[in-house]
């Protein structure tokens, strides 16, 4: 009898589990409610996507650009005040093709991370309204005006001047190793549409003390540098200016060094489009004076030099990916064999749905190390990188493949056990 009751209970439980549910018994999920929402792909490397999904729940976030009805590219540049300019470019696809827009948000240097993400997310949502208005979810959005504001002319008592001071001490203590590093910097800038001025002063002092085989070794590495840059805007494509550098560095065998380099730059694309694309060519020719700590491998204790430099930088960000490539070359006019050329690049390309390829690297041919001191270095200086070493080349790089598959939607936010990832 007991066995019969157990079997009967199991049968009844299975029957209840297998019984079809009525439609009204099935709760409608958030994704099904948003089945008619506009599909959006946000191309942003440093966005808090969890925060954006929470604040803008009336769209569908897709993880492949080809599945999107709206593609949004976020780019950013530093402003003269030390803040950031965030540019949002909206590109309509499928039935929204041709509905394109560009919105800009400016943060201040005093803004917290929360204030910045709140401001950028707000401007992002405003740009989405023209697309959301064409979907049934427009009823989920309410637009309010917070109040009236009088627009008065802004009077800047600082006249666009920005000052920044930084103190960064570090130390490390171990049984056989003790080190201290002190970095100080002062940055002054004034940036307007017509002119750009920057002054950067940096000082670095480090002392390392270590014990090995009953012997105590003490090594110092010191440097300071003062850079000045003044640039004038000539047109949407041309700029001209000059830079001056004052330098002292035990690592580079420089007791003191002075550079004065007038330069001219041409950008094939207008500077107003620089957040998305730029191809800049900068040429400079200038004078240098070096006073060395130790006699160099060319038997010099000091020398006067003329040097020319050429920098070419190409940058583009599109929905298929991004490219950042720069080429830097220089040579001394008294001896063209003393030269340097370096190529740096980063490429990220979306190949097919869910598959991305990125490549990064740099290669340099180095024939201009005129400051190398004469004589042999001891092992401690080499291991602690206290002195620049002679080399004919430098190469580094890497590549990666990323493949993602599965559901094209990624609307859900679940912060349990930590997330905080940036996409």
Give the CATH number for residue 287.
2.40.160
Residue 240 has pLDDT above 90, yes or no: yes
Kind and range of the H or E run holding 321: strand 321-332
Query: In the chain, what percentage of residues exceed pLDDT 90?
Result: 32
One domain, residues 414 and 274: no
Q: What is the pLDDT of residue 172?
A: 81
Q: Is residue 3 part of a domain?
A: no
One domain, residues 67 and 99: yes
One domain, residues 126 and 81: yes
pLDDT digits (tens, 9 = 90+) for 303-324: 999 999 999 999 887 777 788 8
Report the domain count for the chain: 2
Residue from 402, 403, 421 nearest 413 by CA: 421
Q: Is residue 146 part of a domain?
A: no
Kind and range of the H or E run holding 127: helix 113-132
Per-residue confidence at 3, pLDDT binned at 50, 70, 90? very low
One domain, residues 191 and 68: no
Mean per-residue pLDDT for 201-208? 90
- Cα dihedral value 378, 380, 385, 391, nearest 10: 30
Residue 259 bridge partners (DSSP): 245, 288
Residue from 221, 191, 70 nearest 134 by CA: 70
Residue from 38, 127, 40 nearest 87 by CA: 127
End-to-end CA, the chain: 62
Kind and range of the H or E run holding 9: helix 2-18
Q: Whole domain around residue 37: which residue ranges? A: 31-138+408-423
| Cβ contacts of 218 within 8 Å, gap of 6 or more | 207, 208, 209
Q: Is residue 13 part of a domain?
A: no
Give the DSSP letter string of 137-191: GGGG----------------TTTTEEEEEEEEEEEEE-SSEEEEEEEEEEEEEEE
One domain, residues 120 and 180: no
One domain, residues 369 and 419: no
Residue 22 has pLDDT above 50, yes or no: no
One domain, residues 173 and 287: yes
Per-residue confidence at 421, pLDDT binned at 50, 70, 90? very low
One domain, residues 133 and 92: yes
Mean per-residue pLDDT for 102-128? 87
Q: What is the pLDDT of residue 16?
A: 38
One domain, residues 67 and 176: no
Cβ neighbours around 422 below 10 Å, total: 10
Q: Is residue 23 part of a domain?
A: no
Q: What is the pLDDT of residue 266?
A: 94
Mean per-residue pLDDT for 173-193? 86
3-state SS, residue 30: helix
Q: Is residue 168 part of a domain?
A: yes
One domain, residues 381 and 260: yes
One domain, residues 259 and 351: yes
Per-residue confidence at 411, pLDDT binned at 50, 70, 90? low
Q: Is residue 105 part of a domain?
A: yes
* C-alpha angle 314-45-101 in degrees, rounded to nearest 5: 75
One domain, residues 185 and 131: no
Q: Is residue 403 part of a domain?
A: no
Identify each DSSP E strand in 6-127 by its residue range: 39-43, 60-61, 70-78, 84-92, 101-106
pLDDT digits (tens, 9 = 90+) for 329-368: 999 999 999 999 999 999 888 787 667 788 899 999 998 8
Would you say 375 and 294 are in contact if contact means Cβ atoms under 8 Å apart?
Answer: yes
Residue from 183, 180, 221, 254 nearest 382 by CA: 221
pLDDT digits (tens, 9 = 90+) for 60-97: 888 788 888 999 998 888 887 778 888 899 999 999 99
Would you say 41 and 65 are in contact if contact means Cβ atoms under 8 Å apart?
Answer: yes
Average pLDDT of every residue of the chain = 81
Residue 186 bridge partners (DSSP): 165, 201
Q: Is residue 181 part of a domain?
A: yes
């Amino acid at each position: 009898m007991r066995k019969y009751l157990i079997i009967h209970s199991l049968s009844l439980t299975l029957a209840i589990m297998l019984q079809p549910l009525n439609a009204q018994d099935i709760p409608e999920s958030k994704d099904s409610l948003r089945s008619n929402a506009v599909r959006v792909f946000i191309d942003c490397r440093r966005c808090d996507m969890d925060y954006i999904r929470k604040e803008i729940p009336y769209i569908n976030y897709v993880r492949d650009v080809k599945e999107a009805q709206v593609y949004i590219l976020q780019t950013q540049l530093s402003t003269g005040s030390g803040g950031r300019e965030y540019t949002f470019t909206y590109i309509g696809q499928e039935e929204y093709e041709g509905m394109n827009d560009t919105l800009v948000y400016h943060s201040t240097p005093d803004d917290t991370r929360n204030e910045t993400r709140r401001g950028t997310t707000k401007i992002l949502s405003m740009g989405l309204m023209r697309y959301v208005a064409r979907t049934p979810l427009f009823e989920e959005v309410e637009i309010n005006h917070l109040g009236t504001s009088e627009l008065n002319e802004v009077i800047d008592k600082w006249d666009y001047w920005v000052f920044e001071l930084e103190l960064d001490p570090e130390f490390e203590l171990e049984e056989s190793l003790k080190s201290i590093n002190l970095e100080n910097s002062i940055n002054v800038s004034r940036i307007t549409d017509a002119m750009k001025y920057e002054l950067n002063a940096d000082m670095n002092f480090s002392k390392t003390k270590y014990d090995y085989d009953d012997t105590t070794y003490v090594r110092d590495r010191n440097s300071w540098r003062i850079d000045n840059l003044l640039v004038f805007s000539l047109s949407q494509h041309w700029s001209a200016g000059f830079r001056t550098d004052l330098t002292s560095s035990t690592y580079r065998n420089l007791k003191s060094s002075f550079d004065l380099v007038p330069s001219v730059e041409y950008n094939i694309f207008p500077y107003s489009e620089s957040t998305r694309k730029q191809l800049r060519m900068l040429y400079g020719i200038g004078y240098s004076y070096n006073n060395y700590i130790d006699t160099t491998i060319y038997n010099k204790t000091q020398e006067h030099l003329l040097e020319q430099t050429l920098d070419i930088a190409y940058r583009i960000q599109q929905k298929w990916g991004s490219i950042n490539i720069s080429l830097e070359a220089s040579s001394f006019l008294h001896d063209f064999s003393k030269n340097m050329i370096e190529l740096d690049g980063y490429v990220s390309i979306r190949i097919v749905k869910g598959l991305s390829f990125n490549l990064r690297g740099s290669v340099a041919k180095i024939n201009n190390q005129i400051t190398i001191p004469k004589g042999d270095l001891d092992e401690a200086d080499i291991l602690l990188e206290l002195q620049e070493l002679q080399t004919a080349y430098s190469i580094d790089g890497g590549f990666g493949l990323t493949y993602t598959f599965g559901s094209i939607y990624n609307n859900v936010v679940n912060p349990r056990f930590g997330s905080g990832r940036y996409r």
